[in-house]
Structure 1
Amino acid sequence: MKKKTDITAGGNMLSYASIMLLAGIGIPILAAMNASLGKYLNSPVAASAFAFFIAFCIALLALLLNDKSFLKEIATAPKHLFFAGTFIAFYVLSITFVAPHFGVGNAIFFVLLGQMLSAAIIDHYGLFGAQVNQLSLMRFSGILVMVFGIWLTQKA
């Protein structure tokens, strides 16, 4: 288990936060674009497959442009970690199917709720090698405030 890092320490924190903010901005854009493509193609699964194909090509390009030393480590990595892609596949397939019927905002509300809950559990126990960040009363209260805020944005 990794020790908790103070997010106010270090010069990279602003960079990390900015990257994740951009990733977060991209999630509803992905949902709306893929849902729309699913309607045009009359197939949410086909839209998801195209999204994964493009994502695979971009990830492969990034891999080819970077260090290839990971190749010798593949055999020693825990095999269950290679199944992380099932979660992104489920997300993309489900958001592509659900968003046109439920609304992008409503779908993302429940995605964010699920992310808050699972992130708190993963951090609390340091699952999958994550930094341990105990679920204190203060952190739990912060999560509740965030969940309430997300809920409020859907009610407005």
Structure 2
Amino acid sequence: MIKMFLLSSIVFAAGIGVPIMAAINAGLGARLASPTLATAILMLVGLILSTAYLMVQGLPSLPTTMPPLYSMSGGFFVVFYVLAVTAITPKIGLGNAIFLVLLGQIVSTSIIDHFGLFGAIKTPITAQKGLGIALMTLGIFLVRKVV
């Protein structure tokens, strides 16, 4: 129970960081007049920090089998997300950008979980879950005037 609370708290804190990162990087992109340069700087800082943490933690042993090719495509989605948010947030506002990201996450996670895609635990969309998704979506639109 305590472990689940701790893990949930860490993920919650990561969620808090998403709009902070979006606002900071959007501001950097605007100041540099280049969302692409701001994204590259963010990725460079991330590479340096994750490499330093890996060195402190210790290098893991390499797997005996090659992971599926799609499992290495996460970097594309990170760069796409950061570049899109960095470029578009100054035009539509932080709240609208993050709420639209949240809506995209609700839709994609529901599909991924329903079909068990990419090795995810298969969790079918029930009527109760569908209602919850619909209410979350409605809530997003009620909280923010989406473009």
Normalised TM-score (structure 1): 0.87
Structure 1 residue 98 and structure 2 residue 88: aligned? Answer: yes
Q: Shift in Å at residue 75 of structure 1?
A: 5.2
Deviations 1:36-70 (A, max 9, x none): 00111111111111111111111112222224234
Structure 1 residue 50 and structure 2 residue 41: aligned? Answer: yes
Change (3 A) 1:74 1:46: farther
* Pairs aligned (count): 145
Q: Shift in Å at residue 25 of structure 1?
A: 0.9
| Matching residue's letter, 2:53 | A
Unaligned 5+ segments in structure 1 are 1-9
Q: Shift in Å at residue 116 of structure 1?
A: 0.2
Q: Distance in 2 between matches of 1:65 and 1:143?
A: 40
Structure 1 residue 33 and structure 2 residue 8: aligned? Answer: no
- If asked which structure has higher relative contact order (CA below 8 Å, sep 6+), I would say 1
The percent of aligned pairs where both chains have the same amino acid is 40
Structure 1 residue 59 and structure 2 residue 50: aligned? Answer: yes
CA RMSD of aligned residues (A): 1.4
Q: Distance in 1 between matches of 2:124 and 2:89?
A: 34
Unaligned 5+ segments in structure 2 are none
